[in-house]
Amino acid sequence: MPSPAAIGHVLPEWVDHYGHMNLAYYVVAFDLATDLLWPRLGLGPVFRAQGLGTFAAENWVAYKREVTQGMPLAARSEVLAHDAKRLLLRHRLFHGTEGWESAECELLFLCVDLEKRRVAEWPVAVRAAFAAMPPGEAPKRLALKR
């Protein structure tokens, strides 16, 4: 499994009145992890240039250990499952230098035709990139279908 990739530090505006990162900013951190993953999967700007996008349909977050202002953050991502129109991921958030896990997030993404604003099928090359990723553990909370 690859090492976690750096995604930044806990910013002052991310910290709540308890002195730790507010729950909303964990989702921001996981979104930054998604941005790092997309190029490896053929998504992002090249994908959008084809008139396609990724829309998050569902997410689940588990908090394991608090992080506080200034702490470095890193994330590791894995593809859990995919089909013709859906992609299920897990991101894990770590302390960037000490390596302990702070939180994890499962996300369900849909392939969307941006002109029609409707769910569409992933291009063949993108599905091949999903399949080429090392298999992740089984999902804990989410599934491809409801």
Model confidence pLDDT, tens digit, residues 15-29: 999 999 999 999 999
As a whole number, the mean pLDDT across the chain is: 96
Amino acid identity at 87: L
Does position 141 have pLDDT exceeding 70, yes or no?
yes
| pLDDT for residue 136 | 87
| pLDDT for residue 117 | 98
Closest Cα partner for 41 from 108, 101, 127?
A: 127
Q: Confidence band (pLDDT; 50, 70, 90) for 1?
A: low
Does position 128 have pLDDT exceeding 80, yes or no?
yes
Q: What is the pLDDT of residues 66-115, one digit of tens each?
A: 999 999 999 999 999 999 999 999 999 999 999 999 999 999 999 999 99
| pLDDT for residue 21 | 98
Strands 118-119 and 101-113: antiparallel
Does position 44 have pLDDT exceeding 90, yes or no?
no
Q: What separation in angstroms does the CA of 113 have from each of 4, 12, 13, 69?
A: 31, 37, 35, 39
Percent of the chain with pLDDT over 70: 99
Q: What angle do CA 17, 91, 67 make, to 5 degrees?
A: 25
Q: Confidence band (pLDDT; 50, 70, 90) for 135?
A: confident
Q: What separation in angstroms does the CA of 129 have from each of 19, 41, 84, 103?
A: 40, 5, 13, 26
